[in-house]
Structure 1
Amino acid sequence: MKLAIVTAYPPSKVTLNEYAYHLVKQFIKNQNVTELILLTDRTEGTKDLEFTEAGCKITVKECWSFNSYNNIFSVTKAINKTQPDSVLFNLQFMKFGDKKIAAALGLMLPLVCKLKKIPNIVLLHNILEEVDLGSAGFTSNKLMQKIYGFIGTSLTKLILQADTVAVTMQKYVDILEAKYGATSVKLIPHGTFEIPEEPDYSLPDGPLQIMTFGKFGTYKKVEGMIEAVEMVRQSTGLDLEVVIAGTDNPNVPGYLAQVEEDYKHVPQVRFTGYVEEEDVPVIFNESAVVVFPYTSTTGSSGVLHQAGSYGKAVVMPDLGDLALLVQDEGYKGEFFEPTSVESLAKAIEAIVIDEAYRLELAKTNYKAATAHPMSQIAEMYMETFQDIIDEKYVVNANNNPQKVIL
């Protein structure tokens, strides 16, 4: 199969590029993929294709740009030129831009594939029904939230024209089936990027590192975490370091620089900036606790799966999708009230003062992470493509798939 993936891809800073990297890493090893075609955003640096294991042929077509109104035409042109057998879209609602028209035009691409009779799957990482538009940085205006809701409903109906829409949580399946009458929605778990051999769960000498990882400034804010760690230092006397690993959310440029200035009086607060792929294991392995300082959630958490794969204890807000992941996939953490610094401090303290409890959480999360390796997720997508072809396509005498009108 010549498989095309429409996605952002490293060194892109557009959301979901890291997920694409790890999915590609598995697809190239799949014996049923003869060529992998990456239909990616344009970047200044070269695409990261340095995989340790050889695999199928990889073709890269940089054919779209964030917030470009031309994406629907340029990606369609690339599809016409490369002639893939199937297309996978790695999407969330603002994948192609944070301007409404640019975002909407990009999300029409799955329908284009369907009209062109190309088997296609949309991997939809979030649904607007489960996004707090104010906390996530879209808008706090109630009227605008209603408008966004209408637009989101319309775009969801458009996306559901795909042959299959894959979502990472059962709750999303239930909502899309109940609200939209969708019959082509399938649960495919997020998966765990890398699963190293089981760690020994030991920590490096020096201060215990309390780490958070991601893009910050909207619903992910770090001020409360810094203040919570200060409280734990005072109550326990422990040597703790705050590690803020990541960058600003594109909607809030300059956020972390301002936080760094506002909290420069607080000792042992480290801002790493963007973390290169090869440095991710170091950041996680050196951490005692991984904190999720979120006020809302917008989808299944890749960071939680990463934390589990490195055997880390986690501190999570008791809300939304993170709480569901714990229930559905077997992760375990210390919960806190998302608006309470005191509650966050208590959650962190419960772990750092009790080594046995930290180890219990770490081992439980490693076990949960190993249940869904990315190799398994890639295979699920290949099986789904085959199901689409078997159910909706027939093979003619020339072995070319033709659409069956059902």
Structure 2
Amino acid sequence: MNLCLVTAFPPSREALNEYGFHIARQLQNAPEVNLTILGDDDMPEGAAELDGFQVIRCWSFNDSKNPLRLLKAIRECQPDVVWFNIGFASFGNRPLPAFLGLATPALSRLRGYSTHVTVHQLMETVDLKDAGVRFPLFYRAAGFAATQLLLCANSVAVLLPAYRTLIQERYKRGSVYVRAHGVLSGRPEYP
């Protein structure tokens, strides 16, 4: 099975890079998986790729062109499965690039790829006032729309049972699963 994992990946310094590494390391041990990592390009100067991983650095933090860049890389890889390991700020801390990045899994599925998402947080669980957001109603509406787009994937995995309950009660759609994580977990469950 050819699998593309879209994630921040070491030696990148972006959020979720370590989680992406642990997913990739476990997938490398599965003989039936041919893994290509579609990683971010936030690399420390002079840093080399980690040995043993096929990494294509094809997206950038805060770049509104990420959907186009990722869809091009996905098309070139011709995967059986595309797995996004993302959070709401994975693609940017500015609204437009962040939102467009979160729309990419839906675009991947529209292109005919089996698309799965592991999402690490939900907008509903963020205290926007505490985070200093100037336009909280706008962010809530965009977060709702982004979650709707994420639910267009073939399946969505969340890390907490409460997140699954929240999605089921508020959005009433999507194939949503809880996938435990942490230091004691072993090989990841396939989406």
Q: TM-score range by the shorter chain?
A: over 0.9
Deviation at 1:2, TM superposition (A): 0.7
**2:49 counterpart residue number:** 47
The TM-score with structure 1 as length reference comes to 0.45
- Displacement of 1:138 in angstroms is 4.8
**Structure 1 position 130 matched with structure 2 position 125:** yes
Residues 102 and 178 (structure 1), Cα distance of their counterparts in 2 relative to 1, 3 Å cut: same
Map 1:6-155 → 2, pairs under 5 A? 6-33=6-33, 35-42=34-41, 43=43, 44=45, 45-49=47-51, 58-135=53-130, 137-139=131-133, 141=134, 144-155=135-146
Deviations 1:279-302 (A, max 9, x none): xxxxxxxxxxxxxxxxxxxxxxxx
Q: What is the SS of the residue equivalent to 2:54?
A: strand
Aligned to 2:163: 172
Question: What is the aligned-residue RMSD (CA, Å)?
Answer: 1.4
- The one-letter code matched in structure 2 to 1:183 is G
* Paired residues of 2:66 and 2:100 also in contact (CA < 8 A): yes
Q: Which protein has the bigger helix share?
A: 1
Letter in 1 for 2:14: V
Report the Cα offset of residue 122 of structure 1: 0.5
Amino acid at match of 1:158: L
Q: Is the CA contact (8 Å cut-off) linking 1:8 and 1:17 kept in structure 2?
A: yes
Q: 2: CA distance between counterparts of 1:128 and 1:118?
A: 26
Distance in 1 separating the partners of 2:137 and 2:177 = 28
**Unmatched runs of 5 consecutive residues or more in structure 2:** none
Per the alignment, do residues 138 and 151 of structure 1 end up closer, same or farther by CA in structure 2, a change over 3 Å counting?
Answer: farther
Identity level (%) = 35
The CA deviation string for residues 19-62 of structure 1, in whole angstroms up to 9 with x for no partner, is 011111110001221x1101011124222236xxxxxxx42111
Whether 1:184 aligns to 2:175 is: yes
- Where has structure 1 moved over 4 Å in runs of 4 or more? none
Asked if the contact 2:158–2:178 (Cα under 8 Å) also holds between the matched residues in 1, the reply is: yes
- TM-score (normalizing by structure 2): 0.93
AA of the residue aligned to 1:60: V
Q: CA deviation at 1:146?
A: 1.5
Long gaps (5+) in structure 1: 51-57, 193-369, 385-406
Counterpart contact for 2:37–2:55, Cα < 8 Å = yes
Name which structure has the greater RCO, CA cutoff 8 Å, separation 6+: 2
* One-letter amino acid of the counterpart of residue 10, structure 1: P
Q: Secondary structure at the match of 1:120?
A: strand
